[in-house]
């Protein structure tokens, strides 16, 4: 008898309530190997589309623990469908002092707790995220696997162009909560203490710039497309991640691929990303940050930073993990 080959091709329901580059990267990875049915809706429309798609898929893949992903995971238990949930950081945040995180709302927290604990596999982008999930859910995290997001070294490349001696930060910032969480108030303080250095912040809305005017040596730009952002990464001397809270830091990874010298706060996944290739500073310590930034500007382009991202945070690594998880669900 000729042995039959078991197909590893899957029909996957891919869900997210918004889009980011790292979410699109995961979707593209899955689409290279499987049939993906994507739902990026919210409200009742999302639930209706989940119900219509579930009979035709064997796995659900949801980005971020939320009310929507938790309801979907409940539905997978009723339909005996396997589920994968990705924790990105905001979904395990609870910072009542800045009104940040779904866990500040009790009924939402209860639903999110259910989703995390009952997903077949949970992918956390950093060990700190796994620890946060275990603490908030009060369980052993047996279903959680740590898997960083993947970043494309062929897209984010260095340039032979001389660095312009400036410090760059990229952070989506459209309200005061994001202003605090992303450490932009800290960035302002550091920039004020270094009037001789040029700073650039990309991602702040015009409304926020008017609400909280930056110091004179800090240029504020709105969110930019990837091709324009690439040019800023290539010319900046140092990339500064000043966050109060950060899961992993996609912009940090992109900047390091472009050989920016990395400086970041010692929070969340930032130390995981930077490793020994840059400098870490306590959040809020603008004197330590200023010293680290000056050292980074003196150091120049960092090939070691690029090599670290290629080795540990590449799309290839992420693809290997996703394929392994999917195979394991069907053993």
Quote the tokens at residue 191.
């920039």
Do 123 and 241 belong together in one domain?
no
> pLDDT tens across 120-143, in order?
999 999 999 999 999 999 999 999
How far is residue 298 from each of residues 13, 57, 78, measured CA to CA in Å? Answer: 49, 54, 59
Tell me: pLDDT of 63 over 60.
yes
pLDDT of residue 7: 53
Average pLDDT over residues 224-248: 95
Mean pLDDT calculated for residue range 45-70: 96
In this structure, the answer to whether residues 136 and 252 fall within a common structural domain is no
**Is 158 inside a domain boundary?**
no
Residue 74: inside a domain: yes
Distance CA 171, CA 250 (A): 10
Instruction: Give the domain extent around 256.
Output: 166-312
- 104 inside domain: yes
222 with 114, same domain: the answer is no
pLDDT at 231 (0 to 100): 94
User: With contact defined as beta carbons under 8 Å apart, do 84 and 60 qualify?
Assistant: yes
pLDDT of residue 147: 97
> What pLDDT is recorded for position 87?
98
137 C-beta neighbours (distance < 10 Å), count:
21
Whether 135 and 219 map to the same domain: the answer is no
Q: Say yes or no: 210 and 227 in one domain.
A: yes
Q: Give the pairing of strands 144-146 and 279-281.
A: unpaired
Instruction: State yes or no: pLDDT of 163 exceeds 90.
Output: no
Please give the backbone phi and psi of residue 276, each rounded to the nearest 5 degrees, phi first. Answer: -100, 10
Q: What's the structural domain count of the chain? A: 2
pLDDT(5) > 80? no
The verdict on 217 and 206 lying in the same domain is yes
Distance in angstroms (rounded) separating the CA atoms of residues 61 and 119: 10
Residues 294 and 319 occupy one common structural domain: no
* Per-residue pLDDT reduced to its tens digit, 264-322: 999 999 999 999 999 999 999 999 999 999 999 999 899 999 999 999 999 999 999 99
Asked whether residue 250 carries a pLDDT value surpassing 90, the answer given is yes
Mean pLDDT of 8-37: 94
The pLDDT tens digits of the residues spanning 200-214 come to: 999 999 999 999 999
Residue 4 has a pLDDT of 38
User: CB–CB of 123/69 below 8 Å?
Assistant: no
| Same domain, residue pair 324 and 268 | no
Query: Residue 50 is part of a domain; what is its CATH number?
Result: 3.40.50.2000
pLDDT for res 3: 38
On whether both 170 and 306 belong to a single domain, the answer is yes
Query: Cα(62)–Cα(111) distance, rounded to whole angstroms?
Result: 15
Whether residue 135 lies inside any domain: the answer is yes
In this structure, are 190 and 266 located in the same domain? yes
Asked if 291 and 319 sit in the same domain, the reply is no
Q: Name beta bridge partners: 36.
A: 12
pLDDT exceeds cutoff 50 at 1: no
- pLDDT at position 91 over 90: yes
Q: Is there a single domain that holds both residue 89 and residue 22?
A: yes
């Amino acid at each position: 008898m000729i042995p039959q080959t078991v197909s590893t091709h899957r029909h996957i329901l891919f869900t997210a309530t918004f889009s980011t580059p790292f979410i699109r990267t995961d979707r593209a990875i899955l689409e290279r190997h499987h049939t993906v049915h994507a739902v990026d809706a919210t409200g009742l429309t999302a639930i209706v589309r989940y119900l219509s798609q579930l009979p035709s898929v064997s796995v659900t893949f949801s980005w971020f623990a939320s009310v929507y992903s938790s309801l979907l995971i409940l539905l997978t238990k009723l339909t005996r469908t396997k589920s994968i949930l990705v924790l990105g950081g905001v979904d395990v945040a609870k910072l009542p002092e800045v009104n940040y995180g779904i866990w500040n709302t009790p009924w939402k927290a209860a639903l999110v707790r259910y989703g995390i604990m009952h997903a077949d596999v949970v992918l956390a982008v950093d060990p700190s995220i796994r620890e946060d999930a275990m603490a908030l859910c009060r369980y052993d995290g047996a279903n959680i696997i740590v898997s960083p997001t993947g970043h494309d070294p062929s897209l984010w490349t260095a340039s032979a162009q001389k660095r312009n001696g400036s410090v760059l930060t990229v952070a989506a910032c459209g309200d005061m909560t994001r202003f605090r969480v992303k450490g932009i108030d800290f960035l302002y303080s550091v920039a004020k203490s270094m009037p001789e250095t040029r700073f650039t912040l990309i991602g702040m809305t015009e409304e926020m710039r008017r609400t909280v005017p930056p110091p004179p040596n800090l240029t504020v730009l709105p969110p930019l497309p990837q091709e324009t952002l690439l040019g800023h990464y290539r010319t900046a001397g140092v990339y500064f991640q000043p966050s109060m809270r950060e899961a992993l830091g996609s912009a940090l990874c992109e900047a390091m691929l472009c050989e920016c010298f990395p400086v970041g706060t010692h929070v969340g996944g930032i130390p995981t990303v930077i490793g020994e290739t840059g400098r870490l500073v306590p959040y809020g310590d603008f004197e330590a940050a200023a010293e680290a930034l000056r050292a980074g500007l003196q150091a120049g382009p960092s090939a070691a930073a690029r090599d670290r991202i290629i080795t540990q945070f590449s799309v290839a690594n992420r693809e290997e993990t996703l394929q392994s998880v999917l195979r394991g669900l069907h053993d």
